[in-house]
Chains A and B, each alone.
Chain A
């Protein structure tokens, strides 16, 4: 499932990044690595997503959020 389709409050595990090489490295450096735990904080006014990644808060546009594939995190 795509991160874009998740709702505020959802707790997720990042599985794959389907983004271009340069963009991919930037996401990896910020901590968007496979296995990372995410939670959706809010959906932005124009389609973006505000996610919590550990103690950091990152805003993503809709397209990027659509390229991150996630699974519900059942452990939490």
Chain B
């Protein structure tokens, strides 16, 4: 009871803040002339991926705004719909509510959709709802519609995907559907703009003469109990909730705040009356499956105690039975019962023998594209910056007689930083386009299905494979790739694991060190780094799951597979551009600022007499001083020397810069080919021999391990911040540094005993 009161209190509080701030409605903020309350509200609801948002965009055009619903952290798009000709000269406020499969919410988004339909105490409730119904998947969409009909809010059905259904041999008639439902039905093709005027007419007619919809007929037994419960709840709670919805919710045992216990008990009793009275008749049937279920290794043993039937199942059954009756009346499916092209393709692409090879081939393609395909583009951008941009900047700086420090800052700091950022742009663009292609074509869902079992070993869904694989090329697009994961917890976990995937920039350093120190066994040493990287992902993943993501449930795979389709250039282009734009905005500043900061530190002399600003040798700059200060921390790992720590500091900014920093610290030429290190190799050998007191091999291995496990680069941090937030990024960085240091020390200390 106390809990319920608290919930009610919270609700009241939320409502109060909403009333205080009527300005929250952004549509009116935007200078709409309408007085609040006079513009009718129309909500769009429906299953995910049925063209709901496309319809919203087609109806509102540019007159829309995405923002949090007042008092909630749920993103809702609202816009002004100006249908013509109409009595509503100020247009209608159209609310695009989050897509959902049912009115039993599983997330705050779905909760908002339900509350706006059933809770009469909420502000901003729609006068009419437009339910988008997918003609190509009618049964499931009608199931959801049947729940919306229970809320009593006037309904207009927008029938989408009629063309897709027709291509599959399903002829869906809007007229027969309207007759069967007793609700206006308008077929729409939002992409082509078809049916929008008819939809406007139906909605305006409904607004002018609002009629509660005819609820779905759930069969005599269920209807009788529902009617009795409806009249019971209508007495005290009818003001607050839609009565029929509440009756059915209570019958199914859903938690609804402020409902007295007495009513709940009556609902439970009604539920018991509906279940088959004779338990013995069900017993022999359930005996055999019981024995098989308990000896099944991948199911908990308590399943034998689950009820065979419950009111929830009965209601779902009744809703689907109704949906099939409606279907039979409205759909001609004579041509539809042959296997579709999608089915035939799936038989190959998900099969036992070809599923994994096809998946690996696709992943290889993504990997290749994000690595090799990006290189010429990156080189082109780099050449543009080094050549024309640099020359132009130099010319401008000379023309204004800029002092030496300013030229240095602009040319090395700013242009260098922007250059660093721009090298990621082709990578990210390719990654986003591939993501959109895989999603839009329908293959992504299949890939998740194919490798589901493999990824489950580390407690992640099948889709997590893609970002992790891409990480071997570059961590930055890999982080962007975490967006394919539907569950936020999974996104955060994978986002924290990606830095441990060894990227190709780290490979260049491994190759240099391994060829200097390990000679013919260089390949083995580099391979060991890849094995260690995979072990780290698995190990840290299991650890984080146990410590940080304990509530991350091991959900079974129940995944609806969309039909394969040709991705449209418009959708792919738009999605990719939006994501690239967001990346540049969130990550751009951080990357440029860090590169400029490192340049500044290396240009400022430490103490006097070492040369002026920008002319100081690295050893005597603030940067060199910092490297010397942190060097002792690496003594237990066998590489406590400022040359090593300096390269690790630049490695924090970008692993590509590690080798060049090493060369700079020794004031030698950076080797053109990392396999032949030349004078840098000689210098490195003498340093590591000195710092490790002769245990060179374990010290170098420790250095490589540290390089593998600590923060990959500034761009990764920036991308991480964009995907998983500042707090987790900082926590992740701390864990990386700790893990890297501990591993390096362990490798060196144990290694020193052996070599």
| Chain A interface (Cβ < 8 Å from any Cβ of B) | 2, 8, 16-21, 23-31, 33-36, 41-48, 50, 52, 54-64, 66-67, 69
Say whether A45 contacts B556, CB under 8 Å.
no
Distance (Å) between the CB of A15 and the closest chain B CB? 8
B316: CB under 8 A from chain A? yes
The segment out of B25-33, B232-240, B342-350 that lies at the interface is: B342-350
Are the CB atoms of B317 and A27 closer together than 8 Å? no
Cα-based distance from A69 to B557 in the complex (angstroms): 17
Residues on the B chain within 8 Å of A60, using CB: 556-559
B662 CB to closest chain A CB (Å) equals: 45
Seen from chain B, the residues whose Cβ lies within 8 Å of a Cβ on chain A are 101-102, 104, 136-140, 143, 165, 168, 170, 286, 289, 292-293, 296, 298-299, 303, 306, 308-309, 312-313, 316-317, 320-321, 336, 339, 342-343, 346-347, 350-356, 359, 445-446, 448-454, 556-561, 563
Contact of B299 among A21, A43, A67 (CB under 8 A): A67
> Given A27-B558, A36-B320, A59-B561, list of 15 further CB < 8 A pairs?
A21-B306, A23-B556, A25-B102, A28-B317, A29-B102, A30-B558, A31-B320, A45-B450, A46-B452, A48-B452, A52-B343, A55-B168, A57-B342, A59-B557, A61-B452
- Residue of B303, B317, B448 touching A33 (CB-CB under 8 A): B317
- B343 touching A61 by the CB < 8 A rule? no
Min Cβ gap B285→A in Å is 8
- List the B side residues contacting A28 at CB < 8 Å: 312-313, 316-317
How many inter-chain contacts with C-beta < 8 Å in the A-B complex? 161
Name which residue of chain B comes closest to A4, CB basis. Answer: B296
Q: For the complex, give the distance between the alpha carbons of A25 and B313 in Å.
A: 8
Q: Could you show 30 A-B contacts with beta carbons less than 8 Å apart?
A: A18-B289, A19-B556, A24-B312, A25-B104, A31-B140, A33-B320, A35-B321, A41-B339, A44-B355, A44-B452, A45-B350, A45-B353, A45-B355, A45-B356, A55-B165, A55-B170, A55-B336, A56-B140, A57-B563, A58-B559, A58-B560, A59-B350, A59-B448, A59-B561, A60-B558, A61-B452, A61-B557, A66-B296, A67-B299, A69-B289
A18 touches B137 (CB 8 A): no
Nearest-CB distance from B191 to chain A (Å)? 21
A30 to B738, CA, bound (A): 46
B454 lies within 8 A of A41 (CB): no
In this complex, what residue of A is CB-closest to B453? Answer: A46
Known: A52-B343, A55-B137, A67-B293. Is A30-B453 also a contact (CB below 8 A)? Answer: no
* CB-defined contacts of A18 to chain B, threshold 8 Å: 289, 293, 303, 306
A27 to B309, CA, bound (A): 14
Q: How far is the CA of A19 from the CA of B312 in the complex (A)?
A: 13
Evaluate contact between A17 and B313: CB separation under 8 angstroms.
Answer: yes
- Partner of A50 from B143, B165, B346 at Cβ < 8 Å: B346
Closest CB-CB distance, B370 to chain A, in whole Å? 24
Is the beta-carbon distance between B449 and A29 smaller than 8 angstroms? Answer: no
Bound complex: CA of A27 vs CA of B165, how far in Å? 23
Instruction: Assess the B561–A43 pair: CB atoms within 8 A.
Output: no
**Are B343 and A47 touching (Cβ within 8 A)?**
no
* A48 & B453 in contact (Cβ 8 Å cutoff): yes
CB pair A46 B558 closer than 8 Å: no
Q: How far is the CA of A43 from the CA of B354 in the complex (A)?
A: 11
Residues of the A chain whose Cβ atoms lie less than 8 Å from the Cβ of B560: 30, 56-59
State A27–B136 Cα separation when bound (angstroms).
Answer: 19
| Shortest Cβ distance from residue B255 to the other chain A in the assembled complex, whole angstroms | 13
Q: Kindly list the 8 A-B residue pairs having the minimum CB-CB distance in the complex, ordered from nearest.
A: A45-B355, A46-B453, A28-B316, A61-B557, A59-B449, A57-B561, A63-B298, A33-B317
Q: Please tell me which one of the listed residues B137, B299, B317, B556 contacts residue A35 in the complex, with CB atoms under 8 A apart.
A: B317
A33 touches B313 (CB 8 A): yes
- A25, B336: Cα distance in complex, Å: 28
A19 to B298, CA, bound (A): 12
Residue of A with least CB distance to B316: A28
Residues in A with CB closer than 8 Å to B453 are 46-48, 61-62
- Chain B nearest CB, measured from A61 CB (Å): 4
Tell me whether B292 and A2 are in contact (CB under 8 A).
yes
A33, chain B: closest CB distance, angstroms: 4
B454 contact from A31, A34, A46, A69, Cβ within 8 A: A46
CA of A35 to CA of B453, assembled, Å: 29
Taking the nearest CB of chain B, how far is it from the CB of A43, in angstroms? 6
In the complex, what residues of B have CB within 8 A of residue A23's CB?
Answer: 556, 558
Docked CA distance A20–B306 (Å): 7
**Contact flag A66-B445 (CB < 8 Å), given A46-B453, A52-B343:** no
Measured CA separation A56–B513 after assembly (Å):
55
* Cα separation A16 to B286 with both chains bound (whole Å): 9
Chain A residues with CB below 8 A from B140, complex form: 29-31, 54, 56
In the bound complex, do residue B293 and residue A16 qualify as a contact, i.e. CB atoms below 8 Å apart?
A: no
Q: A16 vs B136: C-alpha distance in the bound complex, in angstroms?
A: 26
Tell me the complex Cα distance, A47–B170, Å: 32
Closest residue of B by beta carbon distance from A59: B449
